[in-house]
Amino acid sequence: MNKVNFEGKKIAILGFGIEGQSVADYLSGKSGSIVVLDEKKRAEFDEKLIECYESRGIEFRWGRIANLKGYDIVFRSPSILPTSKVLQEAKKTGIEISSATKLFFDLCPAEIIGVTGTKGKGTTSALIYEMLKEAGEDAYLGGNIGNSPLDFLDKLDEDSKVVLELSSFQLMDMEKSPHIGVMLMTTSEHLDYHSDVYEYISAKRNIFRFQKETDFAVVNQDYPASNESDVEGDGKVYKVSRENKVFSEGCFVIKDDLVLKINDTEKSIIKIDEVALPGKHNLENAAAASMAAVLAGVDLPTIKHVLKTFKGLPHRIEFVATIRGARFYDDSFSTTPETAIAAIEAFSDPKILILGGSGKNSDFTELAEVINNSDSIRAIIGIGDEWSRIREMIHNENIEMIEECSDMFEVVKEASLISEIGDVVLLSPACASFDMFQNYKDRGEKFKEAVFQLTN
């Protein structure tokens, strides 16, 4: 792909989501023609938004995408697999297949710090960004966290630093890796999208696969899929852990300290009880972010300050309010059994859980085992399509099961009625949200709205 000149090129953008709009914005006026193809109906989008793009000469075609003949470059959205039949057939005819992420990597003049993993990548990316900003760097945050990096591409120079949260969808067809790559806890996820777990993990490993000897790889050694990814690429490897000491170089939790080990020298960064983020799992994120920030040139006092003050992103074990002595937490971002386990283990207090949602082909065996062995879970409010499958695996007779709540207000009201002083009411569904809500954000916002209604 020509990195500068798109003039005369016929460009197709598959999907009119955040990334599709960002590509259209960036290429508007730079290309001979731009056509947006989306399988949805026009009526499903904001008409004023579409008219705004049409006024800039961008065409729209709605409905099934049969073929891509006649285009020079096709930009796929993350939701469209690069292995899909229509893209594979286009590639055979010599059509360039790209994406917003690939385009950004081609054009970005700044160092890129990329973060991926099954969970924790949003929090870790935000931590690194805050550490860079606190250090006075010209830093930017984008990617899967919600804003396309193309939106700030023109602001960057060689001294800037970019932090990108990267999903498997974005990484799957990448042919470049970031200067600093971070791979967090990686288990199994999105098996409704990927053909199998091997394809999913392989996509994640593209974050290291194209690194050079001058690059850096930060790997969580506590999970086999991420730990074994250090064989990919030529970047220098640093390990992070919350369970064991790192024997080479890296960052780890030992006793009461988060420790940095460089050149056989160990230094305490912070006492773990000073870290503002709740939950043991966030110590993994703190270790990974600290390691990446050190490699990016941030000093330890700055890192410590951010770890003491950063309280997390919305919908990630976010404290909402207290109702009659019970604390309500929004962990709607928890869409896998692993993240629900982490949230459960973040609190030793008596708990009322809100579990369930739409299916992602998840295995709930380990989650059920944690619940069955728990002596701190008082009740579970089951919601959504997947609740019945989870329910069949729970055999802890000490847990009260509450079902058939019709909406989030009813769920929260029921939780408030059975809660006692000192309880934690925890929305950590372990499932996607699409059966009852637009997305995890909508689910979390409705949870918070319901809590606030009861506090008034």
Task: Give domain limits for the chain.
Answer: 6-101, 108-309, 318-455
Radius of gyration of the chain (CA): 23
Question: Please, is 14 exposed, middle or buried when counting C-beta atoms within 10 Å of its C-beta (0-12, 13-18, 19+)?
Answer: buried
Helix 121-134 vs helix 281-295: crossing angle, to nearest 10: 40
| Whole-Å CA distances, 220 to 141, 379, 419 | 22, 33, 37
Q: What's residue 295's pLDDT?
A: 98
Eight-state DSSP code of residue 29: T
- Rounded CA separation 336/384 (Å): 14
Q: What is the pLDDT of residue 2?
A: 37
Residues 6+ positions from 302 with CB-CB distance below 8 Å: 131, 134, 135, 293
318-455 architecture in CATH?
A: Alpha-Beta Complex (3.90)
Distances in Å between the Cα of 117 and the Cα atoms of 76, 203, 287, 351, 419 are: 22, 10, 14, 28, 35
On the question of a common fold for 108-309 and 318-455, the answer reads no
Q: Are 34 and 27 in contact (CB under 8 A)?
A: yes
Q: How many CB atoms lie within 10 A of CB 174?
A: 20
pLDDT for residue 313:
82
- Pair 378, 421: CB distance under 8 Å: no
CATH 3.40.50.720 applies to domain 6-101: yes
Q: Is 4 exposed, middle or buried (0-12, 13-18, 19+ CB in 10 A)?
A: exposed
Place of tokens 């974005």: 170
Look at residue 168 in the predicted model and tell me its pLDDT. 87
Domain boundaries 108-309, CATH class: alpha beta
At residue 1, the pLDDT reads: 41
Tell me the C-alpha to C-alpha distance, in Å, between residue 377 and each of 249, 354, 382, 396, 397. Answer: 39, 11, 13, 9, 11
Closest to 45 in 3D by CA, of 31, 24, 26, 30: 24
pTM of the model: 0.79
How many Å apart are CA 161 and CA 224, to the nearest integer?
30
How many angstroms separate the CA atoms of 297 and 230, rounded?
A: 22
**Distant-in-sequence, close-in-space partners of 224: CB < 8 Å, separation ≥ 6:** none
pLDDT along the chain (456 residues), means of 10: 71 92 92 90 91 95 92 91 91 95 96 93 94 97 86 95 93 95 79 66 93 97 88 93 93 96 95 92 95 98 97 87 95 89 89 93 92 97 95 96 94 97 96 88 96 92
What secondary structure does DSSP assign to 202-222, as a single string? HHHTHHHHT--TTSEEEEETT
- In angstroms, what CA-CA distances link 326 with 141, 322, 343, 375? 35, 5, 16, 18
